[in-house]
Amino acid sequence: MIQFILKRLLSSLVVLFIVSTLTFFILYIVPGGPFDQEKKLPPEIQANVEAKYRLNLPVWQQYYFYLKGLAHGDLGPSYKYPGRSINEIIAEAFPVSVKLGLVSFGVAVGFGLFFGMLAAVYKDRWIDRLCMLSASGGLSIPTFVLGSFLIFGFSIQLRWFPPALWEGWSYMFLPSLTLGLGAASYIARLVRSSILDVSSKEFVRTARAKGLSEEVIMVKHILRNAISPVVTVSGPLLAGLVTGSFIVEYLFSIPGMGRYFITAATNRDYPLIMGVTLVYAVILVAANIGVDVMYSIIDPRIRSK
Q: What is the pLDDT of residue 130?
A: 92
Q: What is the pLDDT of residue 224?
A: 77
Q: Distance between CA atoms of 80 and 88, rounded to whole angstroms?
A: 13
Describe the chain by its helix, strand, coil percentages, rounded to 5. Answer: 75, 0, 20
Vertex 215, ends 213 and 221: CA angle to 5°? 90
The pLDDT assigned to 177 comes to 92
pLDDT of residue 302: 56
CA angle 236, 136, 130 (to 5 degrees): 125
**According to the model, what pLDDT value does residue 178 have?**
92
Question: 159 by DSSP, 3-state: which?
Answer: coil
Indicate yes or no: pTM above 0.95. no
- What is the reported pLDDT for 125? 92
Contact 181, 107 (CB under 8 A): yes
For residue 197, the one-letter residue type is D
pLDDT (tens digit, 9 = 90+) per residue, 80-126? 887 888 889 889 888 888 899 899 999 999 999 999 999 998 988 99
Check residue 38 and give its pLDDT. Answer: 56
Q: What is the DSSP letter of 156?
A: I
3-class SS of residue 267: helix
pLDDT tens, the chain, 305 aa long: 777 778 878 888 898 999 999 998 988 887 776 666 556 767 777 788 778 888 888 889 999 999 998 888 888 888 888 788 888 988 988 888 889 989 999 999 999 999 999 999 898 899 999 999 998 888 888 888 999 999 999 999 999 999 888 888 889 999 999 999 999 999 999 999 999 988 888 888 888 888 888 888 888 888 877 877 787 787 778 877 877 678 888 888 888 888 788 888 877 888 888 888 888 888 888 877 877 777 667 666 655 55
Distance of alpha carbon 80 from alpha carbon 175, whole angstroms: 27
- Entry field: residues in the chain: 305
Q: How far apart are CA 213 and CA 38, in angstroms?
A: 72
